[in-house]
Amino acid sequence: MDTLLKSKDEKLSSISKAINTTETPVKEKHARRIILGTHREKGAFTFWSYALGFPLASSSILSWKFCHVLHKVLRDGHRNVLQDCMRHHSSIVEIGRLWANLHDRYGQLVSLYTKLLCTKMEFHTKYSDIPPNLEVSDEVLERAAGTDINNVFQLTVEVFDYMDTELRLAETVLRQLNTSIAISTLTSGQCRLSPLIQVVQDCSHLYHFTVKLLFKLHACLPADTLQGHRDRFHDQFHSLKTFFNRARDMMYFKRLIQIPKLPDSPPNFLHAASLAKHVKPVVVIPEDDEPEQPDDDDDDPEPLIDVSSASASMVEAQPQQVDIFDQAFGPPNGGFDDRDLQIESLKRDLELLRAELERVKAEAQRYITQLKSQINSLEAELEEQRAQKQRALVENEQLRMELEAVRRRNSEHESLEATFFEAEKRSQATEQRYNKLKEKHTELVASHAELLRRSADTVKMLSATQQTQEEVERTKQQLTFEIDRIKQESDMKLEEQKFEMEKLRRELEEKMAEIMRIKSTLQTSEKTTEQVNSSMTALQAEKERLMRSMSEKEAELSSLRQSAQLQQTSLQQEREKSSRELGELQGKLQDKTSQEEQLKQKLLAEQFALLQGTVTEAENIIQDAVAKIDDPLHIRCTSSPDYLISRAEAALGSVDKVKRGHADYLSNMGDAGSLVRALTQFSHLAADTIVNGSATAHMAPTDHADRLTENCRGCATESLQFLKDLKSKISLQRADPASVRVIIQRILHLGQELRPKGMDVRQDELGDLVEKEMASTSAAIEEAVRRIDEMMNQARKDTSGIKLEVNERILNSCTDLMKAIRMLIIASTDLQKEIVDGGKGAATIQEFYAKNSRWTEGLISAAKAVGWGATEMVESADKVVLHTGKYEELIVCSHEIAASTAQLVAASKVKADRSSKRLTVLQQASRRVNEMAANVVASTRTGQENLEEKDTMDFSGMSLIRLKKEEMESQVKVLELESHLENERVRLGELRKKHYELAGVPLEQVSEGNGDSFSLPHSANMSPKHTKPAIMRKPNLAQKPNLPPKSLYK
């Protein structure tokens, strides 16, 4: 059975260590084993069979790490992983939809991550030629896009959607890191940042795909149709650049990935030559992705006994069992796997191949640059040939004009012979020009052949680099197309030139024949003249036709120039209009900014003027109070120390408010409301303190009266100095009411010294004081229960796990104790009413309490001690829950409450009837309180044991001398602790003696002044040790003064 369990644990090790609820990043070695498993089993069946058992709906961190591992498996796993994951597409969608409806930080990230994974699977399922890692050549991308422009358009839109999901996840992760205390060096921050490595890899390829597809679309579609695509690309470009820059600055990514830099501006798709400037961003993963940090979970413990020899025969006897999980994911971490070395070598080979690929790409880019320069030179030569052709046409036109001149001369009838000789000369000149034109034509043919040879060389160079770079292929195609077009144009021009030359040759032959006919028909000059006239008419008609054609071309050219000028004028007007509107908006913005600045300055001035008025009024109030000290009419005014104390305490509170208001005003001088309100209250309370301090000094002893009067004057002086500092902007920063606080504290101390002691209470006030103290104790218990409920709710929000369980157990036990004390107070109040009703006779309640004053004072002291103990317990519990206090404080408070309740029960039993049912109820309530106090102590100690870590004592590696030395050091420490314990016990005894002296209670048995006597039972002592000296035991008397001073005159 143990063997089967161990085998199952080994199967689950990789996936369970990679996907868990711990807020740490997924370790690379666990993910690598899972990816290798998919290649071994040629799919992800084993991964999904284990992953479906995870409670993804119960933990957002578990779902986040599951999505991260699934992203890695999709990118780097076997090609059949995509098909296996598509079978669980609906489950991934449901997980994302679940966490999208919950308000959880990781839940929001899981929702976005599931959308990314679903988009990724759907995209690669539709375009199976593109693998999930997006590492394909441009030829594969061209094949996936196809030749149909509609398919290219649709693929571009889907790549945009793909990029949007990647960027949305990255932006959300970075935004959460900005609003959280987590940073990239903490595990909580790394847990969120680790999936962004795959996001960076995907985004680099998607950016390259988008650029290629958009250039292809712009080559086939109008620019206006693709305006939306360009806008969307610009938004994604700026978001991607911001994401890369922020990720590049984080310490976490610097050792894991080299993030490429994008260009400063996006490519210009309207200019096809910008494609040559585009450089594909390449993401480089360093060889050492993640440092191997050994952890306790990955390594098997070293056995203490060598059982290899004993188990060897058993292993040989048993048939070797093949573990499907080990086949898929490799051996557990404890064993040695040489496939890691193979992986490292393959990674190094891959890096070398990548470097070689980059070198080949750079060489191809250089070839492209050289070819483009050659193309430019060829284009320049072609332009030169075109210019030569134009010059030849111009010469042909000149020849035509000269021929017309010859014909006009021939039309003259003055001398036929002169005309013959002139025509012969012109014909020779024409023949020479024809020979020149023929030579030009020969040169054009030779240059055309040279262009064809260079074009053939260019085609050979382009075909040499066609396999390594698609840009070279595209450039070759463009060159081929351009050369073909040039060739066609050249052929057409040559054909035209040949036609024109042939026409001119025929015309020359005709002219020669005409001249011969002129020679043969000199005798028939009239007939020759008519023939010349007819030929001249034909030439004139040809000239007119050519002139009309030239005028039409010039009219068309002028119309094109006018339309271009109109467009340029409209563009210039639009540009000027935009610049004017921009200037107007900037002017309005500057005016608005200046107005806001003026209003801000006005607001600051008004707030400071309001503060000055308040300070002036406060100075008048305090000066009026100081004037009353020396006023003879004020000598008859008196005041009690209690009222002076109440005024001084209120003045101290107002000083704190003034300090906070002063700090708020310094941080925001546009709002002086809090400081004005605080100064108004402070001035009145400080004046009351000064006036009542002077009035109290009239009835105080001389020494106290002099000190009190001096402190009142000092309070006024310091207050006026503080107010004077507030009136000036120069001294406003250094104004500090600390000196005023010190003076008011002195006045408060003097008032407390002048108060009557607790034993001086009048006898007729004891009855009311008992009821007040019982009501105050009940109110304290109610407040304690309420605060414990608040602490319970807060603990459930802030803590979880074992800490939440311990806090709930402690707070529940404290709540039960408070409820038991409340029942005890109710039972004690009922018993007191029964005692008073039975013992007062014809006297009043006040007279009964006055007659039994000693007993009454014991009740008051016990009730006050119970209320004080409840309050202290709440404070200690609050500190324990917040991990700022000690568990021992809570235990001591439990002991104090048990002792105080025992004192209250004992005081009530003195006057009670032994057969009273209410006395029985009180005793049961007392026992219930003791049980609940013991429960609090037990819960506290149990929680302390659960939370405190105990070190295991392992002395197996120590020698005899080392053990003896450690034993002696331990004995010395025990003796020191015992000595310290004895000193603390003596100190505790002295503290208790001093406590009883201040309370007016002797250490011996208390004697009742009115005839009744009682002694508290030993149950009040919560210490279980009875061997301590008497001075070190917890006394059986009251723990707090009988009559607390602050509750006398309320």
Give the mean pLDDT of 487-513.
75
Angle (deg, nearest 10), helices 149-178 and 105-126 = 160
> What's the pLDDT at 969?
79
DSSP, collapsed to helix, strand or coil, labels residue 258 as strand
Structure-model confidence comparison of residues 526 and 874, the more confident one: 874
The band of 381, judged by pLDDT with boundaries at 50, 70 and 90, is: confident
Structure-model confidence comparison of residues 231 and 753, the more confident one: 231
**pLDDT over 80 at 179, yes or no:** no
Distance in angstroms (rounded) separating the CA atoms of residues 835 and 838: 5
Checking 762-765 for CB contacts under 8 A at 24+ apart, the result is 763/850, 763/853, 764/846, 764/850
Structure-model confidence comparison of residues 473 and 134, the more confident one: 134
User: What string of DSSP letters covers 29-68?
Assistant: HHHHHHHHHHHHHTSSHHHHHHHTTS-TTT-HHHHHHHHH
The band of 118, judged by pLDDT with boundaries at 50, 70 and 90, is: very high
Distance in angstroms (rounded) separating the CA atoms of residues 216 and 210: 10
**pLDDT over 60 at 208, yes or no:** yes
Between vectors from CA 921 to CA 917 and to CA 925, what angle results, nearest 5°? 165
**pLDDT over 80 at 629, yes or no:** yes
**pLDDT over 90 at 145, yes or no:** no
**pLDDT over 80 at 286, yes or no:** no
DSSP, collapsed to helix, strand or coil, labels residue 540 as helix
Under 8 Å CB-to-CB from 1021, ≥6 apart: which residues?
899, 1033, 1034, 1035, 1036
> What's the pLDDT at 72?
92
Kindly report which listed range (358-372, 537-551, 767-781, 860-874) carries the lowest average pLDDT score: 767-781
**pLDDT over 90 at 400, yes or no:** no
Give the mean pLDDT of 846-862.
66
> What's the pLDDT at 205?
93
Give the mean pLDDT of 685-713.
87
The band of 857, judged by pLDDT with boundaries at 50, 70 and 90, is: low
Kindly report which listed range (425-439, 666-680, 778-792, 827-841) carries the lowest average pLDDT score: 827-841
**pLDDT over 80 at 154, yes or no:** yes
> What's the pLDDT at 291?
44
Encode pLDDT of 290-338 as tens digits: 444 444 444 433 333 333 333 333 333 343 444 444 454 455 444 445 6
CB 269 within 8 A of CB 218: yes
Kindly report which listed range (187-191, 428-432, 453-457, 682-686) carries the lowest average pLDDT score: 453-457
Average pLDDT score, the chain? 76
The band of 1017, judged by pLDDT with boundaries at 50, 70 and 90, is: very low
Encode pLDDT of 23-74 as tens digits: 899 888 888 888 888 888 888 888 888 888 888 888 999 999 999 999 999 9
Give the mean pLDDT of 649-674.
87
Kindly report which listed range (144-153, 490-499, 729-738, 974-983) carries the lowest average pLDDT score: 490-499
Query: From residue 255, how far is each of 68, 170, 285, 286, 446 by CA, in Å?
Result: 19, 19, 9, 7, 63
Encode pLDDT of 69-114 as tens digits: 999 999 999 999 999 999 999 999 999 999 988 878 888 999 999 9
Q: Which tokens go with 349?
A: 């080979």
Structure-model confidence comparison of residues 208 and 849, the more confident one: 208
Encode pLDDT of 888-925 as tens digits: 777 888 888 778 778 778 777 777 777 788 888 888 88
Distance in angstroms (rounded) separating the CA atoms of residues 106 and 100: 10
Give the mean pLDDT of 956-981.
80
Query: From residue 105, how far is each of 19, 737, 801 by CA, in Å?
Result: 18, 44, 19
Give the mean pLDDT of 859-868.
73
**pLDDT over 50 at 983, yes or no:** yes
> What's the pLDDT at 160?
94
Output the CA torsion sign for 54, 59, 63, 69.
negative
> What's the pLDDT at 528?
58
Encode pLDDT of 430-475 as tens digits: 777 777 777 777 777 777 777 777 767 776 766 665 555 666 566 6
The band of 697, judged by pLDDT with boundaries at 50, 70 and 90, is: confident
Percent of the chain with pLDDT over 90: 14
CB 835 within 8 A of CB 880: no
> What's the pLDDT at 168?
94
> What's the pLDDT at 1034?
38
> What's the pLDDT at 1010?
35
Encode pLDDT of 235-271 as tens digits: 999 999 999 999 988 888 888 889 999 998 899 888 8
